Structure 1
């Protein structure tokens, strides 16, 4: 257990967090007994949540008041504002976070509450009911996926899976991918080239989009799929020049150069795949199960859409990770922990969780809610069959605690376009990414201590 003693971290150290990479908080990992009060009703209390508008609608805020008698006040998620609130000793009671990348980052900075004692006594969130994706929210001081729980995902997808439009395949005379066996990444890219349509120098149909949640998350996952690791054993460095990372990076740059889908050098005017796929202008989209929420609502699109397993590299491992796992965590200095936990239980296990599960916008993170996933139509049953088969290939792919994914993303975006345009070799890009990202990681490691 972590020490609850000590003053809040200095604002200067905390602001390095938002400046792009690394830090806050006392990094002491000394043990102690965690005090948890026995009352969890929370009724009549006010709880502050720092979330994005999509996370919690005004209707749900009203519903919480009705269901559990807790008043929820929302603050728009903003990292700089979060740091300010935490350093001023007045943090929100619950904060949204992306488990795949935020959990190790904040846990290493000693600003998250360990939730194991709360889970242990919860009548709503049973440990044996938690989907393994929730292990993204665990961190043992060294590696993500083990140790104390610091949060929970609200729903999830295996983000290397992809949807495809059978009508566009049929029009192009291209065979559909197999339903439960993965194609190789090389085959996926070849298929995307065959499906791409251009007219007068403009792309009218993207053959396939494959960008992951953020490029650093994607490249981390692709490197594991190639049989390696992007990070060193202690997560303090990246190395894009290992054979496996070089293969992952090379494939992604090939994808960008081929211009079969959106990238930094060929942006999608819609800014994300959903509307483009829905308009019949994208044959494959690397969006996991969650895009079914949009697809199911379109009665013409849904019957011709299929979900396919995550591709594999020739000779690599079959992995199907979650690159997001968005959910909530509780700041260690939160003032209203019992009421916050009651909101946490309600959000992850009661009314909102059931509504999310039945919407098709993501897989529920409680196994007991899987029966609510849409399965009325034949095409939904088909999607569910593919998704259920894929669950056994899930594993936590650990991310570095020493930099935010956003900061590494910004560095990638500054460095990679020349290679995407063919003006720089992939080997040169690998060396430059090592240089700029390792400088960022080094600063982050120094700040964490």
Structure 2
């Protein structure tokens, strides 16, 4: 249940926020010509954005002031600072968030503004132009994906899709995955084993990386792919011991034990898949369409790379969700809401959005911008065809409002390595995760009553 609209956010309601910050990795944007839209006027106002430094290039901030008449001041995203600014009555106007896992959390605490009235009168962000991925920013007090809109994604990927390098498949004599039909998760793992190359006791080539954007979100998606839900109907508990939860956890621990890709017990020294895949040391990466922005920068690699559908579990549904949906939400106590909305329109529908779409760094969240996606080369057309076919299988996998994903991931990171090393069983791990994570969810629920 959300706080009453007139109630100021209390520090108690933010206790669990200290579990961690937001996901990083947004791409810097390049400036380009801007058409001023007939949205809400914010001329002469100052709008404060709490974002990461690479979310918005300085030249675009200057361009925004010139073209829409709004001065943008940025504050680096920091969850502790956000708590302080909120509780001290001086909140930022717009805040970055990872929609798939952050939206229910902030909305349930009554600190996010309902943006439905703004969308209703916008000439830039029309409801019929919004990609369904923006539903990760909807919440009706119970279910993510339904109810009012509280934010929007800047771009997205279906994050269970994976890129693969055909040169590694050719060298290992492994058949390419189909462009539009999924392999099973077991087939993916078997391919990864065959593609892994070891030299002198070291892994020279990872056969495949399958880690998602965060561990709890990944496991929620794997559980949904197995035909179940990681969370209870009211999202106050989770359960890894159900048949579907056990399938998801068992598959991921099996992936780590196989040593075919980066994991908690064998981390990638680069910290993420991009540089490793780019260097030819990774045959498959489940980074989704978004990684194409990096791949397209190297024409030789781009010609060798293909995008494949999200795998499936036998008997489970075919689904392909977004584990990120990073974007912005407006604070309910913002003092500059009209000007903030004008910046919101500009960021999601004008110059920055067009720059992101044309660079291949994610799928545009406005359907009208899809023609800007890279499609000049034959290999780009092939990727785009695979991606367009996959859009039919998009769905929102709801996340709990009672904990930050970083807090749940910290528990997973504490208990999982022993199971990954074979020192404890998957069933034992499931029980430990249930106990520790449900204690955190119980505390979180108490904070939003």
TM range (shorter): over 0.9
2:418 — aligned with what? Answer: 418
CA offsets, 1:184-241, max 9 Å, x none? 0000000000000001111000000000010101000000000000000000000000
Residue 48 of structure 2 aligns to a residue whose secondary structure is strand
**Partners of 2:407 and 2:3 in 1: CA distance:** 27
1:172 — aligned with what? Answer: 172
**Partners of 1:60 and 1:263 in 2: CA distance:** 37
- In the alignment, is the contact (CA less than 8 A) between 1:157 and 1:289 conserved in 2? yes
Give ranges in structure 2 of 5+ residues lacking alignment.
Answer: 22-37
- Listed as ranges, the matches of 1:113-132 within 5 Å are 113-132=113-132
Question: Residues 88 and 204 of structure 1: is their aligned pair in 2 closer, same or farther, counting only changes over 3 Å?
Answer: same
Q: TM-score scaled to structure 2, two decimals?
A: 0.95
- Listed as ranges, the matches of 1:38-77 within 5 Å are 40-77=40-77
Matched, 1:368 2:374: no
**Partners of 1:67 and 1:421 in 2: CA distance:** 56
1:278 — aligned with what? Answer: 278
1:93 — aligned with what? Answer: 93
- Listed as ranges, the matches of 1:272-351 within 5 Å are 272-351=272-351
**Partners of 1:441 and 1:3 in 2: CA distance:** 22
1:399 — aligned with what? Answer: 399
- In the alignment, is the contact (CA less than 8 A) between 1:205 and 1:282 conserved in 2? yes
Give ranges in structure 1 of 5+ residues lacking alignment.
Answer: 22-37
Q: TM-score scaled to structure 1, two decimals?
A: 0.95
Residue 54 of structure 2 aligns to a residue whose secondary structure is coil
Q: How many residues align?
A: 432
1:31 — aligned with what? Answer: none
2:201 — aligned with what? Answer: 201
Offset, 1:265: 0.1
CA offsets, 1:391-426, max 9 Å, x none? 010001100000001100001000100000000000
Offset, 1:314: 1.0
Offset, 1:299: 1.3
- In the alignment, is the contact (CA less than 8 A) between 1:412 and 1:433 conserved in 2? yes
**Partners of 1:427 and 1:227 in 2: CA distance:** 19
Residue 301 of structure 1 aligns to a residue whose secondary structure is helix
**Partners of 2:239 and 2:429 in 1: CA distance:** 11
**Partners of 2:234 and 2:107 in 1: CA distance:** 15
**Partners of 2:86 and 2:184 in 1: CA distance:** 46
Aligned CA RMSD, in angstroms, stands at: 1.4
Residue 432 of structure 2 aligns to a residue whose secondary structure is helix
Residue 54 of structure 1 aligns to a residue whose secondary structure is helix
- In the alignment, is the contact (CA less than 8 A) between 2:19 and 2:404 conserved in 1? no
- In the alignment, is the contact (CA less than 8 A) between 2:39 and 2:122 conserved in 1? no
**Partners of 2:129 and 2:3 in 1: CA distance:** 26
- In the alignment, is the contact (CA less than 8 A) between 2:39 and 2:342 conserved in 1? no
**Partners of 1:316 and 1:52 in 2: CA distance:** 37
